């Protein structure tokens, strides 16, 4: 690649930037140039991206890396901490950091495809197994899944009213009644954003997580996301039950406990999505809740 970096239009169009961040996006070419000078990098191709970060392929002395850029702030600090914590346990290798610029230099992975592009029969067992691999003893000071459950139990009834009662009160009450079953004494690490789009392949063929969110508590916390992010590819309720069984088994989690977490997290996300103007994901949430029952 020659000349200044061009920020992809598809990145600018992400919901993350609908209300803020235009100045940061406009400054990305200059920021990449500064990072390349500081770390002696050369741009090695066109950038790719997720919803929140731009990733630029770079080289240094013939070795391939990936320069990841986020707006500076708590999110990138948390990502850097999570990557350092899980280094060697199923996440991308962290090489250099410049948190004041929101810059992370990472191991180069295959950015052309994610686990989210792989067939369900391959992706679902890998996601469950990755969750199990990440479940190592966690730091005491990170947010716990218990805290999240308690906060959601407080917030969901008011959100349900405010958003026009988008589903039945019976469904809401049934989901809230599951909360005691989700509280745990576990001190294991949990990735709070585990789904196929966040998993890329290493050159040697292993799948690794690229954007983990470090939590502490119940490893079943994010099984719901594995399902709702692929729900359009799942034909009917029987198949939804099948893939729930697959990911729960691969993660080493009791199936009924997994179902309870999926119901709780999906209901929470349904309300969050409506509050943030999403139109497609709330429909998916409704379909998932309807299939496995609340």
248 contacts: CB under 8 Å, gap ≥ 6: 128, 220, 223, 254, 255, 258
Q: Is 193 a catalytic residue?
A: yes
CA dist 133 and 65 (Å) reads 24
Name beta bridge partners: 107: 65
Question: CA distances (Å), 121 to each of 125, 127, 191, 228, in order?
Answer: 7, 11, 22, 16
* Residue 10 in tokens: 């598809």
98 contacts: CB under 8 Å, gap ≥ 6: 35, 38, 104
Which residue of the set 193, 206, 254, 281 is catalytic?
A: 193
Report the sign of the C-alpha dihedral through residues 209, 145, 227, 49, in that order. negative
Which one, of 192, 184, 207, 223, lies nearest residue 82 by Cα? 192
Name beta bridge partners: 48: 55
Which residues are identified as catalytic?
193
């Amino acid at each position: 690649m020659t000349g200044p970096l061009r920020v992809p239009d598809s990145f600018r169009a992400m919901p993350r930037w609908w209300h803020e961040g235009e100045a940061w996006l406009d400054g990305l070419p200059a920021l990449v140039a500064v990072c390349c000078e500081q770390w002696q990098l050369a741009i090695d191709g066109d950038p790719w991206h997720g919803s929140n970060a731009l990733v630029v392929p770079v080289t240094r002395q013939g070795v391939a890396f990936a320069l990841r850029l986020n707006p500076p702030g708590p999110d990138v600090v948390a990502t850097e901490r999570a990557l350092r914590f899980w280094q060697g346990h199923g996440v991308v290798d962290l090489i250099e950091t410049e948190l004041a610029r929101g810059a992370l230099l990472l191991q180069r992975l295959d950015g052309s495809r994610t686990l989210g592009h792989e067939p369900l029969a391959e992706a679902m067992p890998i996601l469950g197994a990755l969750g199990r691999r990440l479940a190592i003893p966690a730091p005491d000071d990170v947010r716990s899944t218990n805290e999240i459950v308690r906060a959601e139990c407080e917030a969901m009834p008011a959100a349900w009213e405010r958003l026009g009662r988008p589903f039945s009160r019976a469904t809401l009450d049934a989901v809230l009644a599951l909360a005691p079953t989700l509280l745990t004494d576990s001190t294991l690490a949990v990735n709070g954003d585990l789904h196929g789009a966040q998993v890329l392949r290493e050159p040697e063929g292993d799948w690794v997580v690229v954007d983990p969110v470090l939590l502490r508590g119940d490893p079943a916390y994010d099984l719901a996301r594995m399902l709702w992010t692929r729900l359009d590819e799942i034909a009917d309720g029987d198949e939804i039950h099948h893939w729930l069984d697959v990911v729960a088994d691969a993660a080493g989690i009791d199936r009924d406990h997994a179902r309870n977490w999926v119901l709780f997290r999906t209901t929470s996300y349904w309300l969050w999505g409506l509050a943030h103007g999403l139109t497609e994901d709330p429909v998916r949430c409704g379909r998932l809740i309807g299939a496995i029952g609340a």
